[in-house]
A and B are shown apart, each in its own frame.
Chain A
Amino acid sequence: GDSVTQMEGPVTLSEEACLTINCTYTATGYPSLFWYVQYPGEGLQLLLKATKADDKGSNKGFEATYRKETTSFHLEKGSVQVSDSAVYFCALSANNQGGKLIFGQGTELSVKP
């Protein structure tokens, strides 16, 4: 079945460091890909998405590119802030399955001042 694998955390960075969280997927067909973020004590918020190969999603300085050839959707940010501390989830949605999301296990990011 479809699945998402993302790098294990926790990841601890200093403010202004570069961030990469790896995400790879297995799916039949051409899924849509998402990054969601969960701040402490809150629900999930969409960070960015891409719906077809080579699309780049971006938001709040975060970027991810849908790479069909490597089945990847890595999350990157050039300079993290303390306020970016959260849990990040990579997810896919197969276009023929009603839109349900299949999530990776989540990666906890802690940014220190």
Chain B
Amino acid sequence: DSGVTQTPKHLITATGQRVTLRCSPRSGDLSVYWYQQSLDQGLQFLIQYYNGEERAKGNILERFSAQQFPDLHSELNLSSLELGDSALYFCASSAQLAGGHTQYFGPGTRLTVL
């Protein structure tokens, strides 16, 4: 158990809909990262927050947004969903921003768009 929790575990929805994925980092970790894992794109970095502020953006679509709340949990919002958004979405947390720090991954949310 990494200490990172994600809900829900599975999500099935239709095209055009909007969903929210939730992540609670390990106790004490200030940095939260979101990644998408799909068969064709592999594991890709989406976005990072540190202590409530956005710090880095990767290949995140404009239809996707995220935020980190004062209690440090984070939410990833996906809207106008398309079939190609079906993927496993991971959240990870680390204590600091620096590159050498270990990121601890949650179990993921499997999103299926029908």
- What's the least CB distance linking A101 to chain B, in Å? 6
> Which residues does chain A contribute within 8 Å of B35, judged by CB atoms?
101
- In the complex, A84 Cα to B5 Cα: how many Å? 25
Which of A13-21, A41-49, A72-80 binds B? A41-49
Residues of A within 8 A of B4 (CB): 43
Secondary structure call for the A interface = loop
Q: How far is the CB of A36 from chain B (nearest CB, A)?
A: 8
Most buried by A among B2, B33, B50, B105: B105
Interface residues of B (CB under 8 A from A): 2, 4, 31, 33, 35, 42-45, 48, 50, 55-56, 58, 90, 92, 94, 96-108
What are 25 inter-chain pairs, A to B, with CB distance below 8 A?
Answer: A32-B99, A32-B100, A34-B102, A43-B106, A46-B102, A49-B102, A89-B43, A93-B99, A95-B100, A97-B56, A98-B31, A98-B56, A98-B97, A99-B33, A99-B98, A99-B99, A100-B33, A100-B45, A100-B56, A101-B33, A101-B45, A103-B44, A104-B42, A106-B42, A106-B43
